[in-house]
Amino acid sequence: GIQVEQSPPDLILQEGANSTLRCNFSDSVNNLQWFHQNPWGQLINLFYIPSGTKQNGRLSATTVATERYSLLYISSSQTTDSGVYFCAVGQGGSEKLVFGKGTKLTVNP
């Protein structure tokens, strides 16, 4: 099955810093989503982005489907950005999203 690798596994930042999280996948996809899981376990959908670029406030994401990767950019990070960021992908005709293991982000004040 398709493999999803996220990097880095852990990231520690000072408040106000910028960061880039990466998601590599092993096969073509027609569905890619980024999620943020807060320290209490709640997952929030950040982007549905099988290709192209989207922005939402301080967050933006780019997926280059032909090169099998996606990037999540966080600018001017805040302590509330802490948590785990997951990338999940799906393939045409497939019934499931496959999740990566996540990047754990800690933003210190």
90 binds another protein (CB under 8 A): yes
CB of 87 to another protein, least distance (A): 9
73 binds another protein (CB under 8 A): no
Residue closer to another protein, measured from CB, 18 or 45: 45
Applying CB under 8 A, among 11, 13, 21, 33 the residue interacting with another protein is 33
Q: Are 104 and 8 in contact (CB under 8 A)?
A: no
Per-residue DSSP letters for the chain?
---EEEE-SEEEEETT--EEEEEEESS--SEEEEEEE-TTS-EEEEEE-SSEEEEETTEEEEEEGGGTEEEEEE-S--GGG-EEEEEEEE-TT-S--EE---EEEEEE-
97 binds another protein (CB under 8 A): yes
Q: Taking CB under 8 A as the criterion, which residues in 41-70 touch another protein?
A: 41-45, 48
Residues lying near another protein in the complex (CB under 8 A): 4, 31, 33, 35, 40-45, 48, 86, 88, 90, 94-97, 99-102
